Amino acid sequence: MFQDLRYGMRMLLKHKGFTLVAVLSLALGIGANTALFSVVDAVMLRTLPVKEPSRLVLFEWQSGSAFRTNGMRGSSNPKPPGMRGASMFRYDVIEKMRQARSAGTGDPLSDLFAFAPVYGLTAVANEQAEVVRGQAVSGGYYTGLGVQPMLGRAITDSDDNAAAPPVVVLSHFYWQERFGANPAVIGQRLKLNQTPFTIVGVTPPAFTGALQVSDRPAVTVPLAFEPTLLGERTGMARANRPGYWWINLMGRLKPGATLERRVSGDGAGSDAAAATRQ
């Protein structure tokens, strides 16, 4: 074996051009495969770094193909022939679902919460302005996911009220990049689209939210402040547009509850809502 190794090394040194091409080819091939596996690992193999992710369900509406919506992107699973649907809902749907849960019996969910991306936010921190990605979430978002902030506290139901003081939770990567991982950041002000928000928490390093894999929001605000950020009077606020479908709804199944449960539509043209595993 050692003779073969020595002979192989002599041949490689003798034919330096061939050796260089072979090494570069191997390097490119290994690098490409590593990158591809990293993408597959992130998208398909890993679950959300939250408490018991197998009990989370992402809601999706289904309707006849003639039904039309005005809204943002959302995921969509295969549908029966002649049906369409997506994982985005109107702003008022979560309130109607909450009312139905409080009035009904046999609710399979222990938690129900909503979240949506907010793009193009101008953040001013330490007198430096930059455009960041954000998200707006309902008060039960962190509780439903079972995520505990690394610093400070999470957004709660009392924060998800337009009359409450504006608060914001920072992602771990944004806290490191913009605030130098300073633990004294809690209680400081961060201006978002000219509105001052008080920083109340920082999320754990592994948690980047429940949006699409490519979405890594730097800041998270209560859902009630989406009109404040996007402009109530400019028409950009989606919460003020009754026909706009833009919110993701997610829930957590109670122990022993079944994964699928059909519920009646809300009168807006949807035939049913189906819960699908996240």
Report DSSP state, residue 96. Answer: H
Dihedral over Cα of 58, 85, 273, 243: its sign: positive
Distance CA 220, CA 137 (A): 7
Rounded Cα distance, 19 and 11, in Å: 9
Residue 276 has pLDDT above 50, yes or no: no
Contact 159, 214 (CB under 8 A): no
Encode pLDDT of 170-199 as tens digits: 999 999 999 999 999 999 999 999 999 999
Return all residues near 25 (Cβ < 8 A) that are at least 6 apart: none
Which residues have C-beta within 8 Å of that of residue 125, sequence separation ≥ 6?
178, 179, 190, 191
Strand partners, 124: 129, 191
pTM for the complete prediction?
0.72
Q: CA-to-CA distance for 140 and 143, rounded, in angstroms?
A: 5
**Closest to 176 (Cα-Cα) out of 203, 146, 215, 148:** 203
Tell me what pLDDT residue 65 has.
65
In angstroms, rounded to a whole number, what is the distance separating the alpha carbons of residues 275 and 59?
4
- pLDDT at residue 229 tops 80: yes
Angle at 212 between CA 210 and CA 213, to 5 degrees: 95
List the beta strands (DSSP E) in 94-194. 109-125, 128-137, 151-152, 167-170, 189-192
Domain spans of the chain, in order of start? 2-45, 53-277
Quick: pLDDT tens for 14-67. 888 888 888 888 888 777 766 655 554 444 445 677 888 888 888 888 777 666
Residue ranges of alpha helices (H) inside the chain are 2-14, 16-40, 93-103, 141-145, 172-179, 226-230
